[in-house]
C-alpha cells in the first residue's frame, strides 16, 4: 500500500472511531461556536459521516493526481472572494445565466476539481439527502487536500454551516479575484476588502507552492529584461513558455520547481531566491514588514503551517450565507 493510500485508510478509521465515541479525534472536535454562525462538528448530529465521506473522496482523488488537490485549495479561494463562500463557483451555465463564475477568465480553463466536488456531493447525498451544502463540501475538500498534500502537517478543524448561493456571474471574478500582476498595495487592499489581514495574505500566498500556472499569467511581464527574477530561472521558463502565449498555445509550468507536489514552505524560499512566478509573489519583498513575514515563513520550522491553518479557516468564513440567505443544493451545479 502506498503512503498516501495508507494515510487515507488510517484517517478514515480514526474519523469513524471519533464519531462512534462522540469525542474529538485529530482535527475533529465537539461542536463549538465559530465565526459567522459556523461551528466545528456542525454535521455530527445531522450527517455523522459527512466529513469522513468527503475526506475519502478527496484522498482518493489526490492519490490519483496531486494537481487536483492544488485545484481544490484554489477553488475555495476563488469561490470565497467573489460572492462569499457559497459554492457559486460550481454553478453551470444555463439559458437564464449563460455566464456563471466558472466561465470567468480567472477560472476558465484553469480551475480544477469540479468532478471531485461532484463525487463528494453524490456520496454525501446517498448517506444524508438534502443535508450537506456544496459550500461546506468545498471548504472540507480544501482542508482535506491541504492535509494530504502536506503529508499530514496541515491538519485543522473546519467549521461548517454555510448555505449555497443562487447567484453567479463571470464578470464578478474580474471585480474581486486578484490577478498575478498585482503589486503589494493592490494585494493588501484586495484582501482587506474581504476582512483578511496582511499576514493572512502572505500566508495564503504560500498555496502557490503546489499546482501549475499558465504561461500567460507571468509572460511577458516577469520575463522582461531587466527583471528581479533569477536569470537561470527565467531562462528555464523561457524554454517552457512561448514569447507570446495565446489561447491555442498557453502551456503550464509548475509553480514550485523544488517540491511541486508538496504543500510546504518552499514557496517562501523560492520568493527569497527570486524564483517565484508572479509579480504578486515578488511584491512580497517590496516592504520590510512583508519581507520579514516571508523570511519567517521560510526559515522557522512549522511557522507557516500553523498560520496557514488559521488563515484557511478565516478565508472559508468570508461572507458566508446562513439562515434564509441561501439553500442546500441537491446538485452542486444547479440551483434548486
Exposure b/e, 45-84, CB count within 10 A at least 16 = b = eebbbbbbbbbbbbbebbbeebbbbbbbbbbbbbbbbbbb
Answer for the pair 267, 256: CB distance below 8 angstroms, yes or no.
yes
CA dihedral 14, 68, 220, 77 (to 10 degrees): -60
Q: Alpha-carbon distance 135 to 163, whole Å? A: 6
Kindly report the number of other CB atoms within 10 A of residue 308's CB atom: 24
Active site residue 78: yes
- Active-site position among 78, 208, 214, 274: 78
The span from the CA of 309 to the CA of 314, in Å, is 9
Paired with 321 in beta bridges are 163
Q: The cell 477568465 sits on which residue?
A: 105
Active site residues: 78
Amino acid at each position: 500500500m502506498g503512503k498516501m493510500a495508507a494515510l487515507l485508510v488510517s484517517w478514515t478509521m480514526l474519523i469513524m472511531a471519533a464519531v462512534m465515541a462522540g469525542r474529538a479525534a485529530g482535527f475533529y472536535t465537539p461542536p463549538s461556536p465559530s465565526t459567522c454562525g459556523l461551528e466545528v462538528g456542525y454535521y455530527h448530529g445531522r450527517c455523522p459521516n459527512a466529513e469522513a465521506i468527503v475526506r475519502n473522496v478527496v484522498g482518493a482523488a489526490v492519490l490519483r493526481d496531486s494537481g487536483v488537490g492544488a485545484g481544490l485549495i484554489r477553488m475555495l479561494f476563488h469561490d470565497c472572494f467573489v460572492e462569499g463562500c457559497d459554492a457559486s463557483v460550481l454553478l453551470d451555465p444555463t439559458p437564464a445565466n449563460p455566464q456563471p463564475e466558472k466561465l470567468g477568465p480567472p477560472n476558465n480553463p484553469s480551475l480544477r476539481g469540479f468532478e471531485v466536488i461532484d463525487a463528494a456531493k453524490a456520496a454525501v447525498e446517498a448517506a444524508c439527502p438534502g443535508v450537506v451544502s456544496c459550500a461546506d463540501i468545498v471548504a472540507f475538500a480544501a482542508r482535506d487536500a491541504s492535509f494530504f498534500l502536506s503529508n499530514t502537517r496541515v491538519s485543522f478543524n473546519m467549521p461548517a454551516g454555510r448555505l449555497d448561493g443562487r447567484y453567479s456571474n463571470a464578470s464578478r471574478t474580474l471585480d474581486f479575484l486578484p490577478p498575478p500582476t498585482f503589486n503589494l498595495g493592490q494585494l493588501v487592499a484586495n484582501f482587506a476588502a474581504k476582512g483578511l489581514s496582511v499576514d493572512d495574505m502572505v500566508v495564503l500566498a504560500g498555496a502557490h507552492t503546489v499546482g501549475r500556472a499558465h504561461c500567460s499569467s507571468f509572460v511577458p511581464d516577469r520575463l522582461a529584461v531587466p527583471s528581479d527574477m533569477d536569470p537561470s530561472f527565467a531562462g528555464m521558463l523561457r524554454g517552457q513558455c512561448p514569447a507570446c502565449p495565446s489561447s491555442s498555445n498557453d502551456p503550464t509550468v509548475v509553480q514550485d520547481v523544488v517540491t511541486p507536489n508538496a504543500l510546504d514552505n518552499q514557496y517562501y524560499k523560492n520568493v527569497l531566491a527570486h524564483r517565484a512566478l508572479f509579480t504578486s509573489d515578488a511584491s512580497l519583498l517590496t516592504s520590510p514588514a512583508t519581507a520579514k513575514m516571508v523570511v519567517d515563513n521560510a526559515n522557522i520550522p512549522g511557522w507557516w503551517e500553523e498560520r496557514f491553518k488559521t488563515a484557511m479557516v478565516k478565508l472559508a468564513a468570508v461572507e458566508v450565507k446562513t439562515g434564509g440567505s441561501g439553500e442546500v443544493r441537491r446538485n452542486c451545479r444547479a440551483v434548486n
